[in-house]
Amino acid sequence: MLIALAVGLPCYLDSGSLFAGLWAAMMGGTVAGAVKEYTDNAHDGWRWDWIDMLCTAVGALFAALFIVLLHYGKG
């Protein structure tokens, strides 16, 4: 969620485009989750954990909803 906010919020604030902020937040969070799962699998010997990946994607969704609230809160 933090990575999604760190990527999506500046993108939205700089461009003023809701779509750009949402796209950046969702892609940033999803890529961060995939990289985390890949490194867990490669280094710790754990198998790919779909539940953990889903929770990361839901965190990115919450970040995107925060950006939507900011967008409509401005008026």
- Per DSSP, the residues of 24-61 read HHHHHHHHHHHHHHHHHHHHS-PPP-HHHHHHHHHHHH
- Position 39 scores a pLDDT of 86
CA distance 63 to 22: 8
Q: Which domain holds residue 42?
A: 2-74
Count of domains for the chain: 1
Res 52 pLDDT > 90? no
- Position 74 scores a pLDDT of 77
